[in-house]
Amino acid sequence: MKFLDEYRDAALTRKLADTLARETTRPWTLMEVCGGQTHAIVKFGLDTLLPPGLELVHGPGCPVCVTPVELIDKALEIAARPEVVFCSFGDMLRVPGSERDLFSVKARGGDVRIVYSPLDAVRLARENPTREVVFFAVGFETTAPANAMAVAQAREFGLQNFSLLVSHVLVPPAMEAILAAPDNRVQGFLAAGHVCVIMGVTEYEPIARNYQVPIVVTGFEPVDILKGVLQCVRQLEAGKAEVENEYARAVSREGNTPAQQLIREVFRIVPRKWRGIGEIAQSGLGLTEAYAEFDAECRFGVAGAHAEEPSECISGLILQGAKKPAECPAFGTRCTPEHPLGATMVSGEGACAAYHRYRRSQQQMLS
């Protein structure tokens, strides 16, 4: 299949690994920001092909994983109301709140539905004018245009029974928060290709310049990822700190400008709390005043809710690259996909889910 098979070529992957072994002269720590990249790295064993001293750590690149407990609790409260049809992508249903998850609400009679697009939720609102239809708008910049389009369509259709529970987060502020931390080990980034399809690469240029770290935009297949690692290492070895675009077949420098315009029309930049990390300034999206009537938090009176993260879960350390899943004492025992302590074990992009699926123990990881 064009644009897939050639990027999973085993011989080329091995060649890139051999080149990395020759050109890496000192220890380096890189972070892949995207959870999709994390799953590819673990699934294909790409980190096991790297030379000694070159380490990949996993970042906060899973929007489901960074959705805070208190927002899950808000979703649970809204979804349990008899007048509500609560719509969400599937992997949000197992993310634990303070006491339960959306599957539990559904099992107790709540009308919780899995949809494949926010526009499905708009259609449900049109078809069910006597019900309140709420869509759980979770994601990075990648999904923001579709969610913005849903709200814009709802207003165009005059729907008064549609709203969003917004949990949008932005990648660049999270990268800066990691780099500014006193115990930061990250020396270079593999940036998420799908985010850059929307936003382009210009947002990363001040980060590379201000923090003197190379940032390479990469795709999600083995060849993409190892090419990105090689480009990042070459910059580090040469003392450079620039933004490079390995994923040029999909990403342009300016990104998708109509999508960006729609995001700016519907959303505004706000502070956002990240699960396990805390609040990061200017790191989220909320509805603008023009679309405030579609804000589910205000509509259902849950805006002031607060909840604490479970103390046993170390997902915050994993999302910051400080720990890896197998270092968690609960990994694979008290924390499994069936009974998760945190979102990183249940999300399709979560690091813990990747390790549990492909590497059940540290011994397997090293063998």
Q: What pLDDT shows up at residue 360?
A: 66
Measured between alpha carbons, how far is 163 from 62 in angstroms, rounded to an integer? 23
pLDDT of residue 362: 42
In a domain, 241, yes or no: no
In the chain, the percentage of residues whose pLDDT exceeds 70 is: 97
CATH assignment at residue 122: 3.40.50.11740
The C-alpha atoms of residue 232 and residue 209 are separated, in whole angstroms, by 14
DSSP string, 75-122: HHHHHTSTTEEEEE-GGGTT---SS--HHHHHHTT-EEEE-SSHHHHH
Which of 210, 217, 215, 214 shows the shortest CA–CA distance to 238?
214
Lowest-pLDDT range of 7-11, 275-279, 295-299, 330-334: 275-279
pLDDT of residue 363 exceeding 50:
no
pLDDT at 367 over 60: no
The predicted model gives 156-172 an average pLDDT of 96
106 assigned to some structural domain = yes
The residue among 234, 188, 224 whose CA lies nearest residue 36 is: 224
User: Is residue 18 assigned to a domain?
Assistant: no
User: Is 324 strand, coil or helix?
Assistant: coil
**3-class DSSP string for 147-174:** HHHHHHHHHHCCCCCEEEEEEEECHHHH
164 falls within a domain:
yes
What is the average pLDDT across 31-45?
93
Task: Give the pLDDT confidence score for residue 233 in this predicted structure.
Answer: 98
- Please indicate, yes or no, if residue 204 is contained in any of the structural domains: no
What is the distance, to the nearest Å, from the Cα of residue 308 to the centroid of all Cα atoms in its chain?
21
- At residue 291 the predicted structure's pLDDT band, cuts being 50, 70 and 90, is very high
Would you say how long the chain is, in residues? 367
What's the mean pLDDT when you consider all of the chain? Answer: 92
In this structure, is residue 92 part of a structural domain?
yes
Q: For the segment 206-257, what is each residue's pLDDT rounded down to a tens digit?
A: 999 999 999 999 999 999 999 999 999 999 999 999 999 999 999 999 999 9
Q: Is the pLDDT of residue 187 over 90?
A: yes
pLDDT-derived band of residue 23, with 50, 70 and 90 as boundaries?
very high
Residue 358 buriedness (CB in 10 A; 0-12 / 13-18 / 19+): middle
Q: Do the domain assignments include residue 90?
A: yes
Mean pLDDT of the 188-199 span: 96
Domain count, the chain: 1
**Is position 40 within any domain?**
no
Q: Which domain holds residue 142?
A: 68-170+255-297
Please report which confidence band the pLDDT of residue 359 belongs to, taking 50, 70 and 90 as the band edges.
Answer: confident
